[in-house]
Structure 1
């Protein structure tokens, strides 16, 4: 086994926030699951990562019960489940140890949020020498408020502010930043087509 799928932060915490109504792909769990099924059929390792902020009192605090896979995603027996407290999936977990022990050199990465935890993990993985495939349409994100916007801005105010960076623009910029430098960009359908038995 030299490949692994890393599913990052596809968790109920995000659906518990008002900002979920702005998510770029409400069906992100379905897209991630297509990759999970693909990886399992190929005999690749599937690693689940959840973001956790113990004691924070918000949706990422495990005590509130939202730090779990989004309904519809199921972890199979033996698939690692890691809890991170940093943006990337390596720094605060034993992910690299798991990958090394399994002889993994190629990673496919998906999850929430496109430009934050998923992109950061991709960059770190590339720096560690992994060959990375970033599956853009199996990631999701939200519009980002301007740096000068008030911290207590409502969703309506966020969307009405002309300085807000739209989700589709964030995704486009992320692809530009990663492609050819840190990762190969792919879609779920492209990976499925490559894996399909040749006629």
Structure 2
């Protein structure tokens, strides 16, 4: 039997205070996240909130900033909240122990920085033996430039879906995910 949890990664106010913040894709992200969270909660799937903390920087990801908190559109009550200090949600957080103690063997990944914390968490979850569903529709990212080449949000999302699908995760839409629970 599959037991599922929704892992909501880094959907926090800290990002509003970063130089790369853009609101272009925010409305669609908020709609997808809200639908996914509401749908999971109505099906008895626990929602786990993960927040990124960097207390050494003194910036918007430090606990002292007050920005390590849910974005305003999130109104759900998480089953549990963990704080991470690296890109994935498992290292030194207690998430793996919490999931295993509840016999959860399937995780649904959503949240912020599609190609960074969400993708890295999906890869680690797979390596730890979890069945992983990656809902890229309910992830948000921002354009990135390297060596003069900029990847826009759609390109980053496509790249992440390409490297995860069939290797580390099954990529699904919000509606596909909710139908499969």
Q: Whole-Å Cα distance in 2 between the matches of residues 43 and 171 of structure 1?
A: 28
Does residue 191 (structure 1) correspond to residue 141 (structure 2)? The answer is: no
2:133 and 2:177 in contact (8 A); partners too? no
User: What residue in structure 1 maps to residue 16 of structure 2?
Assistant: 15
Does residue 164 (structure 1) correspond to residue 150 (structure 2)? The answer is: yes
Q: Whole-Å Cα distance in 2 between the matches of residues 109 and 100 of structure 1?
A: 17
Matches within 5 A, 1:86-165: 86-146=86-146, 148=147, 163-165=149-151
1:24 and 1:140 in contact (8 A); partners too? no
User: What residue in structure 1 maps to residue 65 of structure 2?
Assistant: 64
User: What residue in structure 1 maps to residue 32 of structure 2?
Assistant: 31
Moved over 4 A (4+): none
Gaps of 5+ in 2: none
Shift of 1:16: 1.8
Q: Whole-Å Cα distance in 2 between the matches of residues 83 and 24 of structure 1?
A: 27
Query: What secondary structure is seen at the aligned counterpart in 1 of 2:21?
Result: helix
Does residue 173 (structure 1) correspond to residue 159 (structure 2)? The answer is: yes
TM-score (norm 2): 0.92
Shift of 1:194: 4.5
Gaps of 5+ in 1: 149-161
Aligned length: 179
2:40 and 2:178 in contact (8 A); partners too? no
Shift of 1:179: 0.3
Shift of 1:193: 4.3
Shift of 1:192: 3.6
Max radius of gyration: which structure?
1
Matches within 5 A, 1:39-50: 39-50=40-51
